[in-house]
Amino acid sequence: MNAPKWRIWLVTALVCGWGILALRFAQRQEWPMAGLCLLLLLVNVITLWRLTQRGK
C-alpha cells in the first residue's frame, strides 16, 4: 500500500499517544480505560504495519 508520509507519521503519533495514556490510566488503576487505550494502541499498530508493507 502506498501511504502518504503524513499518514504514517499521524498513525505513529497515535500509537505513542495511546501508549502514554494507557500507562497513565494503569498508574491510576483505572483498568477499563487502560484496557480501552491498549485496544486502540493495538488497532493503530496493525494499521501502521499495514501502511508500511511494501508491494502489497
pLDDT in tens, the chain (56 residues): 678 899 999 999 999 999 999 999 999 999 999 999 999 999 999 999 999 987 55
- Answer for the pair 48, 1: CB distance below 8 angstroms, yes or no: no
Radius of gyration of the chain (CA): 13
Question: What was the pLDDT predicted at 1?
Answer: 62
For the chain, the helix, strand and coil percentages under 3-state DSSP, each to the nearest 5: 80, 0, 20
Angle between helices 31-51 and 5-27 (to 10 degrees): 160
Question: What was the pLDDT predicted at 2?
Answer: 72
